[in-house]
Chain A
Amino acid sequence: DVKVTQSSRYLVKRTGEKVFLECVQDMDHENMFWYRQDPGLGLRLIYFSYDVKMKEKGDIPEGYSVSREKKERFSLILESASTNQTSMYLCASSHRGGGNQPQHFGDGTRLSIL
């Protein structure tokens, strides 16, 4: 089975801190994604990466950056955390290809910014 592992299930940080969320997948997937999920707003794409060192902005990249130095690992960075970044963060991965490639998700990190 595909395994997407996020480093923390719950995280509490303070306003202004630099926050790192880590994600690792074990299926040699080319694509990796970071979403956030908020009540009433559904899933929103922050960034995705289709190869090592490659990244593209999603719908809401402001206040975030990403890093993909190795194929299996995709990191999300909150440069200076703010309270409006309190959310559930979800990492996903998939093979490159067409619409027949499913995305596999981690269990999520529930991040609270105080």
Chain B
Amino acid sequence: DAKTTQPNSMESNEEEPVHLPCNHSTISGTDYIHWYRQLPSQGPEYVIHGLTSNVNNRMASLAIAEDRKSSTLILHRATLRDAAVYYCILRDFPRGSNYKLTFGKGTLLTVNP
């Protein structure tokens, strides 16, 4: 899977929006952009994914740049429960489903009360 680059850490205040960036300049046309997060002492949790268009679900929004070389995960109102490491991953189609997930270092999000 192609490489992604994320900031090591970010900080936010409770109830404020958070924009988590991810660069993926070598993305291919068939790569899906996935986001996962991992809370302390828990397994990773799927957040959202997209291909070209912006996506919304109950957890977050994913904004994808027009050239697809970057994306941003948006948490609309951060809560203390959102404090976690966030991973941006590219998954290749068609083989992506059967293959392992490779997590990079991710972004450690701290949410201040």
Question: Taking beta carbons and an 8 Å cutoff, which residues of A are in contact with B?
Answer: 4, 31, 33, 35, 42-43, 45, 48, 50, 58-59, 90-92, 94-108, 110
Considering only residues 16-67 of chain B, those with a C-beta below 8 Å from chain A are: 30-32, 34, 41-46, 49, 51
Cα(A59)–Cα(B100), bound, Å:
9
Are A48 and B100 within 8 A (Cβ)? yes
A50 in contact with B93 given A99-B30, A100-B49 (CB within 8 Å): no
Residues of A within 8 A of B45 (CB): 105
Are A99 and B91 within 8 A (Cβ)? yes
Residues of B within 8 A of A58 (CB): 100
Highest count of chain A CB atoms <10 Å: which of B49, B91, B98, B104: B98
Cα(A46)–Cα(B81), bound, Å:
30
Are A102 and B98 within 8 A (Cβ)? no
Cβ-defined partner of B42 (8 Å) among A96, A103, A107: A107
Q: Number of residues in B with C-beta < 8 Å to the partner? A: 25
The reply on B102 being an interface residue by CB < 8 A is yes
Cβ-defined partner of A99 (8 Å) among B46, B92, B102, B104: B92
A50 in contact with B98 given A98-B93, A100-B51 (CB within 8 Å): yes
A43 in contact with B30 given A31-B98, A103-B46, A107-B43 (CB within 8 Å): no
Closest to B46 in A: A102
Are A106 and B43 within 8 A (Cβ)? yes
The reply on B113 being an interface residue by CB < 8 A is no
Are A100 and B93 within 8 A (Cβ)? yes
Are A99 and B31 within 8 A (Cβ)? yes
Are A101 and B97 within 8 A (Cβ)? yes
Highest count of chain B CB atoms <10 Å: which of A42, A59, A91: A42
